[in-house]
Amino acid sequence: MRLKNALAEKMAALKMQLHAAERTLCSMNPQEVIARGYAAVYADGYAVKAAEQIHSGQTIEIRMHGGCVQAMVLSVQEENKNGKETEL
C-alpha cells in the first residue's frame, strides 16, 4: 500500500512538472507572443534581430496579430549604451 501511495504521489508531481513545462513552452510560441501585442520584423525572409541588419530604403515585413504589413524603411537609428539614438 505504501508503494502504491508513493507511486501515485510521484506521478502527480511529474504531471505538475509536465503541465508547467507545457505552459512555459506555449508562452514562448511566436504566435502567442504576437497575440500578446508584440510584432515580428522580417527582411529578405529572415527575422530581424538588430537594427544594423536593415538599411534605409529596404522593404520589410512586420507580422502582428491579425495580419502583416509591408513597409519601407525611411531611416535606421541605433541605440547606444547611454540610451541615445544615432543614425546608421
pLDDT of residue 84: 66
pLDDT per residue as tens, the chain (88 positions): 888 899 999 999 999 999 999 999 988 888 888 888 999 999 999 999 999 999 999 999 999 999 999 999 999 988 877 766 666 6
Helix (H, G, I), strand (E, B) or coil at 1: coil
Neighbour count for residue 41 (Cβ, 10 Å): 19
Statement to judge: residues 45 and 86 lie in one domain: yes
Statement to judge: residues 33 and 44 lie in one domain: no
pLDDT of residue 29: 87
- pTM of the predicted structure, to 2 decimals: 0.63
> DSSP states of 26-85 as a string?
HHH-HHHHHHTT--EEEETTEE--SGGG--TT-EEEEEETTEEEEEE----EEE-TTS-E
Statement to judge: residues 71 and 54 lie in one domain: yes
Domain that includes residue 4, residue range: 1-37
Statement to judge: residues 4 and 26 lie in one domain: yes
Contact 54, 77 (CB under 8 A): no
Statement to judge: residues 66 and 80 lie in one domain: yes
pLDDT of residue 80: 75
Statement to judge: residues 43 and 31 lie in one domain: no
Helix (H, G, I), strand (E, B) or coil at 88: coil
Statement to judge: residues 25 and 45 lie in one domain: no
pLDDT of residue 88: 62
